[in-house]
Protein backbone atom coordinates (compact mmCIF):
# COMPACT_ATOMS: atom_id res chain seq x y z
CA UNK A 1 0.00 0.00 0.00
CA UNK A 2 1.32 3.42 -0.98
CA UNK A 3 -0.17 6.82 -0.12
CA UNK A 4 -0.01 9.59 -2.70
CA UNK A 5 -0.62 13.16 -1.52
CA UNK A 6 -2.42 15.43 -3.95
CA UNK A 7 -2.49 19.17 -4.39
CA UNK A 8 -6.03 20.57 -4.43
CA UNK A 9 -7.57 20.73 -7.87
CA UNK A 10 -11.21 21.73 -8.18
CA UNK A 11 -13.55 22.03 -11.18
CA UNK A 12 -14.96 25.23 -12.64
CA UNK A 13 -12.10 27.28 -11.18
CA UNK A 14 -13.46 26.89 -7.66
CA UNK A 15 -10.98 27.61 -4.90
CA UNK A 16 -12.09 25.08 -2.27
CA UNK A 17 -14.32 22.05 -1.88
CA UNK A 18 -16.96 21.25 0.74
CA UNK A 19 -18.61 17.82 0.95
CA UNK A 20 -21.31 17.86 3.60
CA UNK A 21 -21.71 14.46 5.23
CA UNK A 22 -24.02 13.00 7.86
CA UNK A 23 -23.68 9.71 9.72
CA UNK A 24 -27.21 8.35 10.05
CA UNK A 25 -26.28 5.85 12.74
CA UNK A 26 -29.70 5.40 14.29
CA UNK A 27 -29.52 3.28 17.45
CA UNK A 28 -26.65 1.11 16.17
CA UNK A 29 -23.25 0.86 17.82
CA UNK A 30 -21.64 -0.85 20.80
CA UNK A 31 -24.86 -1.18 22.80
CA UNK A 32 -26.59 -2.89 19.91
CA UNK A 33 -23.65 -5.13 19.14
CA UNK A 34 -23.49 -6.42 22.73
CA UNK A 35 -27.33 -6.48 22.95
CA UNK A 36 -27.45 -4.18 25.98
CA UNK A 37 -29.50 -1.67 23.99
CA UNK A 38 -32.56 -3.89 24.32
CA UNK A 39 -32.37 -3.29 28.07
CA UNK A 40 -32.10 0.46 27.61
CA UNK A 41 -35.13 1.92 25.80
CA UNK A 42 -33.82 5.43 26.47
CA UNK A 43 -30.75 4.89 24.32
CA UNK A 44 -32.67 3.11 21.58
CA UNK A 45 -35.07 6.06 21.32
CA UNK A 46 -32.14 8.50 21.34
CA UNK A 47 -30.67 6.77 18.29
CA UNK A 48 -34.00 6.15 16.58
CA UNK A 49 -34.73 9.88 16.68
CA UNK A 50 -32.24 10.33 13.83
CA UNK A 51 -33.96 8.42 11.00
CA UNK A 52 -37.46 8.67 12.46
CA UNK A 53 -37.69 12.40 13.25
CA UNK A 54 -34.55 14.40 12.45
CA UNK A 55 -33.79 13.19 8.93
CA UNK A 56 -36.78 14.87 7.30
CA UNK A 57 -35.83 18.21 8.80
CA UNK A 58 -32.29 17.90 7.49
CA UNK A 59 -33.42 16.98 4.00
CA UNK A 60 -35.76 19.98 3.93
CA UNK A 61 -32.97 22.29 5.05
CA UNK A 62 -30.60 20.93 2.40
CA UNK A 63 -33.32 21.53 -0.18
CA UNK A 64 -33.75 25.12 1.04
CA UNK A 65 -30.08 25.84 0.31
CA UNK A 66 -29.78 23.52 -2.73
CA UNK A 67 -26.88 21.75 -1.08
CA UNK A 68 -25.85 18.16 -1.92
CA UNK A 69 -24.86 15.78 0.85
CA UNK A 70 -23.63 12.28 1.55
CA UNK A 71 -25.24 10.13 4.24
CA UNK A 72 -23.21 7.23 5.63
CA UNK A 73 -25.76 4.73 6.88
CA UNK A 74 -25.40 1.35 8.63
CA UNK A 75 -27.25 -1.24 6.58
CA UNK A 76 -29.37 -2.21 9.58
CA UNK A 77 -30.78 1.33 9.60
CA UNK A 78 -31.66 1.06 5.90
CA UNK A 79 -33.45 -2.22 6.55
CA UNK A 80 -35.30 -0.80 9.57
CA UNK A 81 -36.24 2.61 8.08
CA UNK A 82 -36.27 1.89 4.32
CA UNK A 83 -38.68 4.64 3.30
CA UNK A 84 -36.69 7.33 5.07
CA UNK A 85 -33.48 6.12 3.45
CA UNK A 86 -35.09 5.93 0.01
CA UNK A 87 -36.05 9.57 0.42
CA UNK A 88 -32.38 10.50 0.81
CA UNK A 89 -31.70 9.07 -2.64
CA UNK A 90 -34.89 10.46 -4.15
CA UNK A 91 -33.88 13.95 -3.07
CA UNK A 92 -30.61 13.62 -4.96
CA UNK A 93 -28.21 12.82 -2.15
CA UNK A 94 -25.73 9.96 -1.79
CA UNK A 95 -25.76 7.04 0.64
CA UNK A 96 -22.48 5.34 1.56
CA UNK A 97 -21.55 2.22 3.51
CA UNK A 98 -21.16 2.55 7.29
CA UNK A 99 -21.05 -1.04 8.48
CA UNK A 100 -24.08 -3.20 9.26
CA UNK A 101 -24.59 -2.26 12.91
CA UNK A 102 -21.77 0.31 13.21
CA UNK A 103 -19.05 -2.27 13.87
CA UNK A 104 -15.45 -1.36 14.65
CA UNK A 105 -13.67 -2.76 11.60
CA UNK A 106 -10.38 -2.70 13.49
CA UNK A 107 -11.65 -5.48 15.77
CA UNK A 108 -12.86 -7.71 12.91
CA UNK A 109 -10.74 -10.15 10.96
CA UNK A 110 -10.83 -10.28 7.18
CA UNK A 111 -13.65 -12.82 6.98
CA UNK A 112 -15.81 -10.90 9.47
CA UNK A 113 -15.32 -7.64 7.58
CA UNK A 114 -16.17 -9.37 4.32
CA UNK A 115 -19.42 -10.68 5.79
CA UNK A 116 -20.38 -7.21 7.04
CA UNK A 117 -19.77 -5.71 3.61
CA UNK A 118 -21.54 -8.59 1.85
CA UNK A 119 -24.62 -8.20 4.04
CA UNK A 120 -24.54 -4.41 3.62
CA UNK A 121 -24.27 -4.64 -0.16
CA UNK A 122 -27.24 -7.01 -0.30
CA UNK A 123 -29.38 -4.61 1.75
CA UNK A 124 -28.36 -1.62 -0.39
CA UNK A 125 -29.44 -3.49 -3.53
CA UNK A 126 -32.66 -4.78 -1.98
CA UNK A 127 -33.93 -1.54 -0.47
CA UNK A 128 -32.22 1.20 -2.50
CA UNK A 129 -31.54 -0.53 -5.81
CA UNK A 130 -27.96 0.65 -5.89
CA UNK A 131 -24.41 -0.14 -4.85
CA UNK A 132 -22.57 2.42 -2.74
CA UNK A 133 -19.30 3.93 -3.95
CA UNK A 134 -18.28 5.44 -0.62
CA UNK A 135 -17.48 4.14 2.84
CA UNK A 136 -16.90 5.71 6.24
CA UNK A 137 -15.51 3.41 8.88
CA UNK A 138 -17.95 3.44 11.80
CA UNK A 139 -15.39 3.89 14.56
CA UNK A 140 -12.73 6.02 12.91
CA UNK A 141 -10.26 3.15 12.42
CA UNK A 142 -9.77 0.17 10.16
CA UNK A 143 -8.04 -3.18 9.92
CA UNK A 144 -5.07 -3.77 7.64
CA UNK A 145 -7.34 -5.76 5.31
CA UNK A 146 -10.15 -3.19 5.16
CA UNK A 147 -8.96 -1.30 2.09
CA UNK A 148 -8.63 -4.34 -0.13
CA UNK A 149 -12.06 -5.57 1.00
CA UNK A 150 -13.59 -2.21 0.11
CA UNK A 151 -12.04 -2.48 -3.34
CA UNK A 152 -13.55 -5.96 -3.75
CA UNK A 153 -17.01 -4.43 -3.22
CA UNK A 154 -16.58 -1.64 -5.76
CA UNK A 155 -15.91 1.16 -3.27
CA UNK A 156 -13.89 3.99 -4.85
CA UNK A 157 -13.45 6.21 -1.80
CA UNK A 158 -13.30 6.30 1.96
CA UNK A 159 -13.97 9.22 4.29
CA UNK A 160 -12.54 7.74 7.45
CA UNK A 161 -9.09 9.06 8.32
CA UNK A 162 -7.75 12.38 9.63
CA UNK A 163 -4.27 12.62 8.13
CA UNK A 164 -4.68 15.55 5.74
CA UNK A 165 -7.02 18.33 4.66
CA UNK A 166 -6.69 17.37 0.98
CA UNK A 167 -7.90 14.21 -0.73
CA UNK A 168 -5.19 11.62 -1.21
CA UNK A 169 -4.81 8.34 -3.03
CA UNK A 170 -4.13 5.01 -1.35
CA UNK A 171 -2.57 2.64 -3.88
CA UNK A 172 -3.56 -0.99 -3.57
CA UNK A 173 -2.13 -4.06 -5.23
CA UNK A 174 -4.75 -4.01 -8.01
CA UNK A 175 -3.29 -0.76 -9.41
CA UNK A 176 -6.54 1.13 -8.88
CA UNK A 177 -6.21 3.52 -5.95
CA UNK A 178 -8.78 4.26 -3.29
CA UNK A 179 -9.47 7.95 -2.70
CA UNK A 180 -9.43 9.10 0.91
CA UNK A 181 -11.54 12.15 1.74
CA UNK A 182 -10.26 12.99 5.23
CA UNK A 183 -12.39 14.54 7.93
CA UNK A 184 -11.59 16.29 11.18
CA UNK A 185 -12.99 16.05 14.68
CA UNK A 186 -13.54 19.82 14.74
CA UNK A 187 -16.47 19.31 12.36
CA UNK A 188 -17.99 16.49 14.45
CA UNK A 189 -21.13 17.55 16.30
CA UNK A 190 -20.56 14.83 18.90
CA UNK A 191 -17.48 16.63 20.18
CA UNK A 192 -19.42 19.73 21.21
CA UNK A 193 -23.16 19.21 21.54
CA UNK A 194 -23.80 15.52 22.16
CA UNK A 195 -25.33 14.67 25.49
CA UNK A 196 -25.33 11.00 26.39
CA UNK A 197 -25.24 9.26 29.75
CA UNK A 198 -25.46 5.57 29.13
CA UNK A 199 -23.62 4.26 27.22
CA UNK A 200 -21.10 7.04 27.68
CA UNK A 201 -19.88 7.31 24.09
CA UNK A 202 -17.58 8.90 23.18
CA UNK A 203 -15.97 8.44 26.58
CA UNK A 204 -15.77 11.60 28.66
CA UNK A 205 -17.97 14.02 30.49
CA UNK A 206 -21.40 14.97 29.24
CA UNK A 207 -21.12 18.11 27.19
CA UNK A 208 -23.35 20.75 25.66
CA UNK A 209 -21.23 23.62 24.40
CA UNK A 210 -22.53 27.07 23.64
CA UNK A 211 -24.44 26.94 20.37
CA UNK A 212 -23.06 30.34 19.35
CA UNK A 213 -19.49 29.22 19.96
CA UNK A 214 -20.11 25.92 18.15
CA UNK A 215 -21.36 27.81 15.09
CA UNK A 216 -18.42 30.20 15.27
CA UNK A 217 -15.94 27.33 15.46
CA UNK A 218 -17.45 25.60 12.43
CA UNK A 219 -17.41 28.85 10.44
CA UNK A 220 -13.74 29.41 11.24
CA UNK A 221 -12.89 25.86 10.13
CA UNK A 222 -14.75 26.39 6.87
CA UNK A 223 -13.19 29.77 6.13
CA UNK A 224 -9.69 28.57 6.91
CA UNK A 225 -9.98 25.53 4.65
CA UNK A 226 -11.57 27.41 1.77
CA UNK A 227 -9.11 30.30 1.98
CA UNK A 228 -6.29 27.77 1.43
CA UNK A 229 -8.14 25.95 -1.35
CA UNK A 230 -8.52 22.75 0.64
CA UNK A 231 -11.13 20.02 1.11
CA UNK A 232 -13.56 19.89 4.01
CA UNK A 233 -16.19 17.40 5.06
CA UNK A 234 -18.38 17.08 8.13
CA UNK A 235 -19.14 14.32 10.61
CA UNK A 236 -22.62 15.43 11.57
CA UNK A 237 -25.24 13.07 13.05
CA UNK A 238 -28.98 13.61 12.51
CA UNK A 239 -29.77 12.46 16.06
CA UNK A 240 -27.44 15.19 17.38
CA UNK A 241 -27.73 18.14 14.99
CA UNK A 242 -31.29 17.48 13.79
CA UNK A 243 -33.13 18.77 16.86
CA UNK A 244 -35.03 22.06 16.54
CA UNK A 245 -32.66 24.32 18.47
CA UNK A 246 -29.57 22.77 16.98
CA UNK A 247 -31.03 22.90 13.50
CA UNK A 248 -30.79 26.68 13.82
CA UNK A 249 -27.02 26.24 14.19
CA UNK A 250 -26.98 24.28 10.95
CA UNK A 251 -29.19 26.80 9.17
CA UNK A 252 -26.83 29.63 10.18
CA UNK A 253 -23.88 27.51 9.10
CA UNK A 254 -25.43 26.91 5.68
CA UNK A 255 -26.08 30.64 5.33
CA UNK A 256 -22.41 31.24 6.06
CA UNK A 257 -20.94 28.67 3.70
CA UNK A 258 -23.31 29.62 0.88
CA UNK A 259 -22.10 33.20 1.17
CA UNK A 260 -19.05 32.34 -0.90
CA UNK A 261 -19.10 31.77 -4.66
CA UNK A 262 -15.66 30.14 -4.86
CA UNK A 263 -16.58 26.80 -3.26
CA UNK A 264 -17.47 23.56 -4.99
CA UNK A 265 -20.22 21.85 -2.97
CA UNK A 266 -20.30 18.18 -3.89
CA UNK A 267 -21.22 14.70 -2.76
CA UNK A 268 -18.34 12.48 -1.71
CA UNK A 269 -18.73 10.28 -4.77
CA UNK A 270 -18.39 13.26 -7.11
CA UNK A 271 -15.26 14.47 -5.35
CA UNK A 272 -13.67 11.02 -5.57
CA UNK A 273 -14.58 10.67 -9.24
CA UNK A 274 -13.11 14.09 -9.98
CA UNK A 275 -9.86 13.24 -8.19
CA UNK A 276 -9.52 9.93 -10.04
CA UNK A 277 -10.26 11.51 -13.40
CA UNK A 278 -7.80 14.34 -12.76
CA UNK A 279 -5.09 11.73 -12.07
CA UNK A 280 -5.90 9.72 -15.17
CA UNK A 281 -7.74 6.78 -13.60
CA UNK A 282 -10.89 5.15 -14.92
CA UNK A 283 -13.74 5.52 -12.43
CA UNK A 284 -15.48 2.33 -13.50
CA UNK A 285 -15.19 -0.35 -10.83
Would you place residue 1 in the very low, low, confident or very high pLDDT band (cuts 50, 70, 90)? low
Would you place residue 135 in the very low, low, confident or very high pLDDT band (cuts 50, 70, 90)? very high
Give, to the nearest 10 degrees, the angle between helix 55-65 and helix 244-257. Answer: 20
Whether pLDDT at 202 is above 60? no
Q: What's the rounded Cα separation, in Å, for the pair 158 and 180? A: 5
The domain ranges of the chain are 2-278
**pLDDT the model gives residue 249:** 97
Would you place residue 281 in the very low, low, confident or very high pLDDT band (cuts 50, 70, 90)? confident
Whether pLDDT at 205 is above 70? no
Q: Where are the beta strands (DSSP E) in the chain?
A: 2-5, 16-19, 21-23, 70-73, 94-97, 134-135, 157-158, 168-171, 178-180, 231-233, 263-265
| Least confident stretch, 32-36, 92-96, 135-139, 142-146 | 32-36
Beta-carbon count within 10 A of 76 CB:
21
Percent of the chain with pLDDT over 90: 71
Whether pLDDT at 126 is above 80? yes
**pLDDT the model gives residue 283:** 61
Q: How does the average pLDDT of the chain come out, rounded?
A: 89
Kindly state the average pLDDT of the residues 117-125: 97
> Over the stretch 66-107, which tens digit does the pLDDT of each residue have?
999 999 999 999 999 999 999 999 999 999 999 999 999 999
Kindly state the average pLDDT of the residues 40-49: 72
CATH code of the domain occupying 2-278: 3.20.20.370
**pTM (predicted TM-score):** 0.91
| Least confident stretch, 125-139, 163-177, 228-242 | 163-177
Q: What's the rounded Cα separation, in Å, for the pair 124 and 278? A: 29
Beta-carbon count within 10 A of 219 CB:
16
Q: What's the rounded Cα separation, in Å, for the pair 97 and 282? A: 21
Would you place residue 8 in the very low, low, confident or very high pLDDT band (cuts 50, 70, 90)? low
> Over the stretch 156-201, which tens digit does the pLDDT of each residue have?
999 999 889 999 999 987 668 999 999 998 999 988 888 765 555 5
According to DSSP, residue 192 is labeled H
Q: Which of 106, 110, 112, 111 is nearest to 141 (CA)?
A: 106
Beta-carbon count within 10 A of 62 CB:
20
Say which residues have a Cβ less than 8 Å from residue 99's Cβ, sequence separation at least 6. Answer: 28, 74, 75, 105, 116, 120, 137, 138
Amino acid sequence: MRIERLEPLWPNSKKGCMALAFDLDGPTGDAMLNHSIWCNPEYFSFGGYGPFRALGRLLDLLDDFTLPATFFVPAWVIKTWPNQCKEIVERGHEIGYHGYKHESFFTLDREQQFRVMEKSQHIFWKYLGQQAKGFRTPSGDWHKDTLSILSDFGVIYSSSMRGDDRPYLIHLNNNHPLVELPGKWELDDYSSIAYTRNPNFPAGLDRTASYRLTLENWCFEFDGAMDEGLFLTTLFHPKIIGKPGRLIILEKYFEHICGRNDVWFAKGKNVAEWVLKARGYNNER
